Chains A and B, each alone.
Chain A
């Protein structure tokens, strides 16, 4: 079983993260990478986390998704502190025997990440001002739909 969780304040390469899945029993790997995009004229993104709860809830999410989808491996990497435009914010990957479980697992993990994990995003603008991002009702609805 591959179970990899990383909360980090430095950039990461999603390709390298994918390479951590190495097993002859794995038949499918699905992954998702979320990036900082240039929306609302932001120049950077800042992410705050809860030092204890964030790690703990990510571990619980991994355990839950492994059981729910009978996965052979799961990986979650999430950034915190300051991120530049274009940098990866989050990477999730799931490995399974067949593709359906892996693909459904990453959708489930991302929906849970949006509502269950203590992380908070803040938009940073060119003039030095900033704004906390509010939770979207659509994210809550998706999370409750599982």
Chain B
């Protein structure tokens, strides 16, 4: 699965995206965040405050408890500040 990062999250991670093959027990966005955070820095820093993260699955906004089954891309980013 492609994990894309934007804005502050991208800067902390240090790259635009990762391609990761997750174990079968990683089923939701929450699972992905926990899995990556457990790998340590920079993920543990970027995802330290999950309330300050927003997610999109295949370009649609999604809550953190949504399944990642059959999803090609998960985007992770901070709350938006446009306008």
* CA A33 to CA B78, docked complex, whole Å: 25
Distance in angstroms between the alpha carbons of A140 and B79 in the assembled complex: 10
Main secondary structure of the interface of A (DSSP, over half): mixed
B80 contacts A118, CB within 8 Å?
yes
Within 8 Å by CB of B78, from A90, A117, A120, lies A120
Contact with B7, one of A78, A117, A120, A140 (Cβ below 8 angstroms) = A120
Q: How far is the CA of A34 from the CA of B81 in the complex (A)?
A: 13
- B81: chain A residues at CB < 8 Å are 114, 119-121, 132-135
Segment with Cβ contacts to B, from A8-16, A18-26, A50-58: A50-58
Contact pattern, B 10-54, Cβ under 8 Å of A = 1, otherwise 0: 110000000000000000000000000000000000000000000
B8 within 8 A of A: yes
User: Contacts A48-B6, A120-B6, A120-B77; is A53 near B82 (CB within 8 Å)?
Assistant: no
Q: Do A78 and B78 form a contact, CB below 8 Å, given A48-B6, A120-B6? A: no
**Number of contact residues on B: which range applies?**
10 to 19
Interface pair B83/A113, CB less than 8 Å apart: yes
A116 touches B80 (CB 8 A): yes
| B70 at interface by CB-CB < 8 Å | no
Question: Hey, which chain B residues are within 8 Å of A118, CB to CB?
Answer: 6, 56, 77, 80, 82
Residue B75 lies at the interface, judged by CB distance under 8 Å to chain A: yes
Complex CA–CA separation, A113 to B80 (angstroms): 9
* CA A130 to CA B56, docked complex, whole Å: 26
- Among A50, A78, A133, point to the contact of B75 (Cβ < 8 A): A50
Binding site for A on B (CB under 8 A): 6-8, 10-11, 56, 59, 61, 75, 77-83
Interface of A with B (CB < 8 Å)?
34, 47-50, 52-53, 56, 78, 89-90, 110, 113-122, 132-135, 140
Provide 9 A-B residue pairs closer than 8 Å at the C-beta atoms, listed in order of the A residue.
Answer: A48-B6, A48-B7, A78-B82, A90-B83, A113-B83, A114-B81, A120-B7, A120-B82, A135-B78
